[in-house]
Amino acid sequence: MYSGCKAFVLTDRQKLYRVNKPEMWTSTLARFARPALQRSTAAVTCQVLKACCRSGPAAGRLPPSLTSVQLRGQQSLVSASHPASRQLVRHARALDQERLVEVEWEDGGHSSYPFTWLRDNCQCPLCTLQSAQARVLLMCDLDIHAGVDTVEVTKDNKVSIVWPDQHTSVFDPEWLKKRCFSSAARQSLQEELFLNERYYWDSTLCIPTADFQQVLQDDNAALAWLLAMRRFGVVCLKGAPAEQGQVARLCERIGFLRLTFYGHTWQVQDKYMANNLAYTSKKLSVHTDYPALNFPPGVQFIQCLCPAVEGGESQLVDGFHVTQQLQREDPEAFQILTSLLVNFQDVGRDYCDFHLLSKHCIIDVDRDGRVHRINFNNATRDSVLDLPLHQVQPFYRAIKAFTDLMDRPENVVSCRLESGDIMTFDNWRLLHGRKSYISSPDSSRHLEGAYLDWDVVMSRLHVLRNSVHKDS
Ligand SMILES: [Zn+2]
């Protein structure tokens, strides 16, 4: 469960980060970007970083309202995902042999679209319910071998196809261009939709900050906040009232929170007969929350309501950065942690009584070989170990290699949360922990936390992006 991102001292660099001048942000980004900042794959970050480093002109392209957002660097992320300019079709023809419609663009390039895909995605009211953007056409009514009768460019520059049964499909050029099947176009669209590029960081990270009230009231600020959380994995919101209910308010801004056995929101305090190690004053080694769930929460909000008088500093580690190091320095350990399943358990009573069991690889990798999620909490790792005897010692060696890397000072950001601060972070990527603290009856350390799913957060991000683009 939660560790308590506790203390958060603003360094000079962090103060710089919040100065309202693009060039100041640029210098700050450049400082933590090199050499610590790395990329999961090769191409897009370079563009974004370059955009960030072009101080004046990059900022000049942005909608004026964005200049008040404190997350300076995210402006280029916002502008980078603006819809493409108007596309014009020069010519369209059917290649019957290849069963493709080839569209030649006014700007010189061309795109090819399979007959079957075009018929399947006809946008007419018989085939698509526009109000839901949902396909009406049934698979049983789709002839995947159908040819086309005619293809032409209409007077209003749309691509019109008449099928052998005389059904007509008319396609908007922007709609087609966005769905171009070339490798580069698909890669670019997938990135725009899923935002899988990440900026890796180490102990030199200046944690991005945003203003709580602005995020609640201004769509530009909210969008910049969510984009930064996606890219960096963490953003600290400043200026919230230090009282219970604020993390729930923030969840409502996005959609809804994720209910768990610890309640809608949960109170991190030193509790008698604690049902979780987080509810003591002990040190918590860095971990992700809730691997005992088979689908752990993607995003976590945690607000400091009352800091500890002594101790309790938060520690953050970029799990994706560390797994990349592990893969490079100890490929055998990486292989073990990405293939062996580990049991987790969580037993107790809170919202109701519970007895959770799950199995995870400690490092989840997607089919492209990218690290997708870290599942690691040493406190809830089960004593039940479903491994043959000869794999037990190699498994421990691999975990040890992983935790040794996470504990390296150059990988750990330590911070002290101030009263009111809300740390918002990616629980699938970041590992977080806290130092032990002195508990005193007259001033009790108190944090309030809540979880959300990435689906809900990404949904809000897409809605905000559309509305911000519309306004600009
Ligand atoms: Zn149709």
Give dist(CA 197, CA 203) in Å, integer: 20
Amino acid, res. 44: V
Number of CB atoms found within 10 A of residue 425's CB: 22
- Cα 83 to middle of ligand 1, angstroms: 26
- Cα 125 to middle of ligand 1, angstroms: 7
- Cα 120 to middle of ligand 1, angstroms: 8
Q: How many residues does the chain have?
A: 472
- Cα 176 to middle of ligand 1, angstroms: 15
- Cα 102 to middle of ligand 1, angstroms: 20
- Cα 126 to middle of ligand 1, angstroms: 5
- Cα 257 to middle of ligand 1, angstroms: 39
- Cα 462 to middle of ligand 1, angstroms: 27
Per residue of the chain (472 residues), what is the pLDDT tens digit?
A: 433 332 222 233 332 232 223 333 333 333 333 333 444 432 223 222 222 322 222 222 223 233 223 443 333 333 334 455 688 999 999 999 999 999 999 999 999 999 999 999 999 999 999 999 999 999 999 999 999 999 999 999 999 999 999 999 999 999 999 999 999 999 999 999 999 999 999 999 999 999 999 999 999 999 999 999 999 999 999 999 999 999 999 999 999 999 999 999 999 887 778 888 888 788 889 999 999 999 999 999 999 998 888 888 999 999 999 999 999 999 999 999 999 999 999 999 999 999 999 999 999 999 989 999 999 999 999 999 999 999 999 999 999 999 999 999 999 999 999 999 999 999 999 999 988 888 777 778 899 999 999 999 999 999 999 999 988 7
Q: Alpha helices of 159-287 — where are they, by DSSP H?
A: 173-178, 183-194, 212-217, 219-232, 246-254
Using one digit for the tens of pLDDT, what is the confidence trace for 32-59? 333 334 444 322 232 222 223 222 222 2
First to last CA, the chain: 41
Q: Phi and psi for 91 in degrees, rounded to 5?
A: -160, 150
- Per-domain residue ranges of the chain: 1-40+199-472, 89-192
Give me the torsion for CA of 401, 406, 411, 413, rounded to 10°. Answer: -170
- Cα 99 to middle of ligand 1, angstroms: 19
- Cα 154 to middle of ligand 1, angstroms: 17
- Cα 432 to middle of ligand 1, angstroms: 52
| Burial track 397-416 (b if 16+ CB lie within 10 A, e otherwise) | ebbebbbebbeeeebbbbbb
Q: How many CA atoms lie within 13 A of 379 on its CB side?
A: 21
Chain-centre distance of CA 169, in angstroms?
37
Residue 169 · residue 122 · CB < 8 Å: yes
Residues 6+ apart with CB under 8 A from 156: none
Q: What 3-state class would DSSP assign to 192?
A: helix
At the top level of CATH, the class of 89-192 is: alpha beta
- Cα 97 to middle of ligand 1, angstroms: 23
- Cα 147 to middle of ligand 1, angstroms: 15
- Cα 89 to middle of ligand 1, angstroms: 21
Give dist(CA 44, CA 36) in Å, integer: 17
Number of CB atoms found within 10 A of residue 54's CB: 15
The domain made up of 1-40+199-472 has a fold known as: Double-stranded beta-helix (3.60.130)
Token pair recorded at residue 316: 């953050």
- Cα 167 to middle of ligand 1, angstroms: 6
- Cα 94 to middle of ligand 1, angstroms: 18
- Cα 173 to middle of ligand 1, angstroms: 17
- Cα 90 to middle of ligand 1, angstroms: 24
| Burial track 203-226 (b if 16+ CB lie within 10 A, e otherwise) | bebbbbbbbbebbbebebbbbbbb
Per-residue confidence (pLDDT) for residue 273, from 0 to 100: 80
- Cα 274 to middle of ligand 1, angstroms: 61
- Cα 135 to middle of ligand 1, angstroms: 10
Determine what percent of the chain is predicted with pLDDT higher than 70. Answer: 82
Nearest to 377 by CA among 404, 353, 342: 342
Q: Given its phi and psi angles, is residue 453 left (phi above 0), alpha (psi -120 to 50 degrees) or beta?
A: beta
Give strand pairing partners of 447: 268, 304
- Cα 155 to middle of ligand 1, angstroms: 20
Using one digit for the tens of pLDDT, what is the confidence trace for 357-409? 999 999 999 998 999 999 999 999 999 999 999 999 999 999 999 999 999 99
- Cα 166 to middle of ligand 1, angstroms: 10
Residue 245 · residue 422 · CB < 8 Å: no
110-114 vs 342-349, strand pairing mode = unpaired
For tokens 């963490």, the residue is 234
Chain-centre distance of CA 207, in angstroms?
16
Q: What 3-state class would DSSP assign to 218?
A: coil
- Cα 222 to middle of ligand 1, angstroms: 38
Per-residue confidence (pLDDT) for residue 224, from 0 to 100: 97
- Cα 251 to middle of ligand 1, angstroms: 40
Nearest to 240 by CA among 232, 230, 228, 248: 248
Using one digit for the tens of pLDDT, what is the confidence trace for 223-263? 999 999 999 999 999 999 999 999 999 999 999 999 999 99
The pTM for the full model equals: 0.82
Nearest to 403 by CA among 426, 431, 428, 441: 431
Give dist(CA 13, CA 28) in Å, integer: 7
Residue 284 · residue 379 · CB < 8 Å: yes
Give dist(CA 342, CA 383) in Å, integer: 10
For tokens 């994720």, the residue is 258
Q: What 3-state class would DSSP assign to 432?
A: strand
- Cα 105 to middle of ligand 1, angstroms: 24
Tally DSSP H helices, then E strands, for the chain.
15, 24
- Cα 104 to middle of ligand 1, angstroms: 23
- Cα 130 to middle of ligand 1, angstroms: 12
- Cα 128 to middle of ligand 1, angstroms: 7
- Cα 118 to middle of ligand 1, angstroms: 10
